[in-house]
Structure 1
Amino acid sequence: MRMIFGLVLLVGIALAGGAVYLAKGQIGQYKNAIARAEAAKQQIIATEKIFVVTRKLEYGEKLTKDDVRVVDFPKAALPEGHFTELAAIFPENTDKPRIVLRPIEKDEALLDIKVTKPGEDAGLTSRLERGMRAFAISVDVSSGVSGFLRPGDRVDVYWTGRVGNGQSRQEVTKLIESSVPLIAVDQSSGSVEGARIARTVTVAVDPNQVASLAQAQSTGRLSLSLVGAGDDIEIASNIEVNQQDLLGIEEEAQAPVIAKEKVCTIRTRRGAEVVNLPIPCTN
Structure 2
Amino acid sequence: MKTARIVVLAIAGVAGLAATYLASIGEQKPVAVAPPVVQLPTAEVLVAKTDIGLGQAVKQEDLQWQRWPAETASTAFLRHDTNPDAMKDVIGSIARFPFIVGEPIREQKLVKANGSGFMAAILPSGMRAISTEISPETGAGGFILPGDRVDVIFSRREKNPDKVGADVVSTEVLLSNVRVLAIDQAPKEKDGSNSLVGKTVTLELKPEQAETLARARQGGVVTLALRSIVDVNEKPDETSNSDHAPKRGESIRVVRYGVPSSQTTQK
TM-score by length of 2: 0.60
CA RMSD of aligned residues (A): 4.0
Q: Answer yes or no: is 1:125 the counterpart of 2:98.
A: no
Larger radius of gyration: 1
Structure 2 counterparts to residues 25-40 of structure 1, below 5 A: none
Give the conservation status (yes or no) of the 8 Å contact 2:44–2:65.
no
Whole-Å separation in 2 of the counterparts to 1:142 and 1:201: 13
How much has 1:179 moved relative to structure 2?
1.2
Q: Answer yes or no: is 1:239 the counterpart of 2:246.
A: yes
- What percent of counterpart residues are identical? 23
Match of 1:79 in 2: 76
Cα deviation per residue 1:213-264 (whole Å; 9 max; x = unaligned)?
1111111111111122223567872236869877789x9xxxxxxxxxxxxx
- AA aligned to 1:237 is H
Q: Answer yes or no: is 1:198 the counterpart of 2:195.
A: no
Whole-Å separation in 1 of the counterparts to 2:248 and 2:103: 45
What is the aligned length?
203
Bigger mean CA deviation after superposition, 57-66 or 136-145: 57-66
Secondary structure, in 3 states, of the residue corresponding to 2:189? coil
Give the conservation status (yes or no) of the 8 Å contact 1:132–1:207.
yes
Secondary structure, in 3 states, of the residue corresponding to 1:213? helix
Secondary structure, in 3 states, of the residue corresponding to 1:126? helix
Pair 86,214 (structure 1): closer, same or farther in 2 beyond 3 Å: same
Cα deviation per residue 1:90-131 (whole Å; 9 max; x = unaligned)?
58xxxx865533222454321245346699665111121110
Q: 1:59 aligns with which of 54, 60, 68?
A: 54
Pair 51,158 (structure 1): closer, same or farther in 2 beyond 3 Å: same
Structure 2 counterparts to residues 3-152 of structure 1, below 5 A: 48-54=43-49, 56-61=51-56, 63=58, 65=61, 68-72=64-68, 73-74=70-71, 77-79=74-76, 82=78, 84=80, 88-90=86-88, 99-115=94-110, 123-152=118-147
Give the conservation status (yes or no) of the 8 Å contact 2:45–2:73.
no
Secondary structure, in 3 states, of the residue corresponding to 1:166? coil
Structure with greater proportional helix content: 1
Match of 2:185 in 1: 187
- AA aligned to 1:148 is F
Q: Any gaps of 5 or more consecutive residues in structure 2?
A: 1-37, 237-242, 253-260
TM-score by length of 1: 0.57
Whole-Å separation in 2 of the counterparts to 1:237 and 1:206: 18
How much has 1:157 moved relative to structure 2?
0.9
Whole-Å separation in 1 of the counterparts to 2:63 and 2:44: 16
Pair 214,90 (structure 1): closer, same or farther in 2 beyond 3 Å: same
